[in-house]
């Protein structure tokens, strides 16, 4: 009935014309109620984020911007194959902050081949002088088929050791928390309440519709008489997706009705990414007959993780400690095993 947020992401949506963004938002408002205060985020690259263009997006209805800064070091940007320079990134963030004050987020990458902890800390210090109230930190993933992946696998560039990556993450966490940011999700930090409403809806296992090539959705299709939550995936290739939409009216490639166990596995995996974790009430919406206490309060993996100081189960629900958040990927398999049993 009502859409709480819209997120233009994936690829580089800032290459789209502001008229296109406005048309999509009009289509959303025509299909459901889009409240005036709903969060509308657009991902932007610094090379396509000049002031007139950003002003056009604001006029179209965008009220939050996420800028792919990645680094403020020209040598690092070159290594990453980015089109923008550090100076362009600075200009883009300054322009965005003047148009979207308090609602401009920046993305930064760490764990680049050959990057030292000191270089990362200096880069983050520079970003703190520039940023607004939301920062996302991502560890570099080497994608097969990219020049960077080939250089690392061929031995031309060193892959960063795991201990160094952990060190960089903890360094960043300490610096951001000292600067007044709340570490509210594994990769995300916000101050002055500037959390991403849209991303929180994923982590809180709320319903969302994926539109566009390669998009994912999770919702109950009650308009078709459906009663169960479905996972839906759109066709990946843009040309094929457009042909399917023109032929059939949609580009949905796959629909899977999620079993109760699959739904709980997702609630667990996404919910533990946040500092609030999984409250009892949310778990109860997906598991009315089996409480968090009944699954994770018994002797077993979860109890062991609590004793090691990585997990908490109390009246607030189930959540990771600050130290546990950094290790979430290695904690999850044990918790999923306990849930399956």
206-227 pLDDT, tens per residue? Answer: 999 999 999 999 999 988 888 8
DSSP string for 69-100: EE-S-HHHHHHHT-SS-HHHHHHHHHHHHHHS
Instruction: Return the half-sphere exposure (C-beta side, CA atoms, 13 A cut-off) of residue 309.
Output: 2
* Domain extent listing, the chain: 5-200, 205-257, 265-340
Tell how far CA 65 is from the center of its chain.
14
Rounded average pLDDT over 233-253? 97
Q: Is 259 exposed, middle or buried (0-12, 13-18, 19+ CB in 10 A)?
A: exposed
Say what percent of the chain tops pLDDT 70. 100
Rounded average pLDDT over 251-266? 96
**Angle of CA points 332, 333, 335, to nearest 5°:** 65
DSSP string for 93-136: HHHHHHHSTT-EEEEEEE--TT--HHHHHHHHHHHHHH--SEEE
Rounded average pLDDT over 296-324? 95
Average the pLDDT over each of 84-93, 112-121, 150-159, 231-240 and give the range with the smallest value: 150-159
Is the confidence at residue 152, as pLDDT, over 90? no
pLDDT of 260 reads 95
Q: Rounded to an integer, what distance in angstroms lies between the CA atom of residue 292 and that of residue 335? A: 12
The residue count for the chain? 341
pLDDT of 48 reads 87
- CA-wise closest residue to 151 among 112, 197, 205: 112
pLDDT band at 149 (very low <50, low <70, confident <90, very high): confident
Q: Rounded to an integer, what distance in angstroms lies between the CA atom of residue 244 and that of residue 238? A: 10
Residue with tokens 């843009």: 238
Is the confidence at residue 153, as pLDDT, over 90? no
Rounded average pLDDT over 162-170? 93
pLDDT of 159 reads 82
pLDDT of 161 reads 87
CA dihedral 187, 111, 179, 306 (to 10 degrees): 50
pLDDT of 15 reads 93
pLDDT band at 86 (very low <50, low <70, confident <90, very high): very high
In this prediction the pTM is: 0.94
Cβ pair 24, 7 in contact under 8 A: no
Rounded average pLDDT over 2-27? 95
Q: Is the dihedral of CA 150, 117, 104, 38 positive or negative?
A: positive
Say what percent of the chain tops pLDDT 90. 87
Rounded average pLDDT over 16-33? 96
Q: Is the dihedral of CA 89, 92, 96, 97 positive or negative?
A: positive
Instruction: Return the half-sphere exposure (C-beta side, CA atoms, 13 A cut-off) of residue 80.
Output: 24
Cβ pair 62, 40 in contact under 8 A: yes
If you ran DSSP here, which 8-state letter would residue 63 be given? -
pLDDT band at 317 (very low <50, low <70, confident <90, very high): very high
**Angle of CA points 10, 15, 17, to nearest 5°:** 115
Rounded average pLDDT over 308-327? 95
CATH class of the domain comprising 265-340? mainly alpha
pLDDT band at 285 (very low <50, low <70, confident <90, very high): very high
CATH topology classification for 5-200: Transcription Regulator spoIIAA (3.30.750)
Give the β-pairing of 182-185 and 104-110: unpaired
pLDDT of 146 reads 81
Rounded average pLDDT over 45-67? 95
Encode 84-115: b = buried (16+ Cβ within 10 Å), e = exposed: bebebbbbbbebbbebbeebbbbbbbbbbbeb
């Amino acid at each position: 009935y009502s859409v709480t947020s819209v997120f233009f992401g994936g690829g580089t949506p800032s290459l789209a014309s502001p008229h296109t963004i406005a048309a999509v938002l009009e289509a959303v408002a025509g299909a459901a109620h889009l409240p005036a205060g709903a969060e509308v985020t657009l991902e932007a690259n610094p090379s396509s984020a000049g002031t007139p263009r950003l002003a056009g997006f604001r006029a179209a209805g965008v009220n939050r911007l996420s800028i792919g800064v990645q680094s403020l070091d020209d040598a690092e940007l070159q290594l990453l194959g980015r089109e923008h320079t550090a100076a362009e990134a600075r200009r883009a963030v300054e322009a965005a902050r003047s148009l979207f004050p308090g609602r401009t987020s920046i993305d930064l990458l760490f764990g680049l081949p050959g990057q030292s902890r000191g270089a990362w800390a200096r880069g983050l210090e520079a970003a703190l002088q520039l940023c607004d109230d939301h920062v996302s930190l991502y560890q570099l993933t080497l994608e097969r088929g990219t020049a960077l992946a080939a250089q690392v696998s061929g031995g031309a560039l060193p892959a960063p050791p795991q201990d160094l990556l952990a060190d960089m993450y903890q360094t960043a966490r300490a610096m951001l928390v000292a600067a007044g940011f709340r570490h509210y999700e594994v990769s995300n930090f916000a101050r002055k309440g500037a959390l991403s409403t849209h991303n929180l809806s994923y982590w809180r296992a709320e319903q969302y519709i994926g539109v566009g090539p390669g998009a994912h959705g999770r919702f109950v299709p009650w308009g078709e008489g459906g009663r169960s939550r479905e996972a839906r995936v759109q066709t990946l290739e843009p040309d094929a997706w457009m042909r399917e939409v023109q032929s059939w009216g949609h580009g949905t490639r796959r629909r899977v009705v999620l079993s109760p166990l699959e739904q709980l596995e997702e609630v667990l995996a996404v919910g533990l990414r946040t500092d609030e974790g999984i409250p009892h009430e949310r778990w109860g919406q997906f598991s009315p007959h089996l409480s968090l206490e009944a699954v994770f309060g018994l002797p077993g993996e979860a109890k062991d993780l609590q004793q090691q100081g990585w997990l908490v189960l109390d009246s607030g629900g189930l959540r990771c400690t600050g130290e546990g958040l950094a290790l979430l990927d290695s904690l999850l398999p044990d918790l999923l095993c306990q849930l399956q049993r």
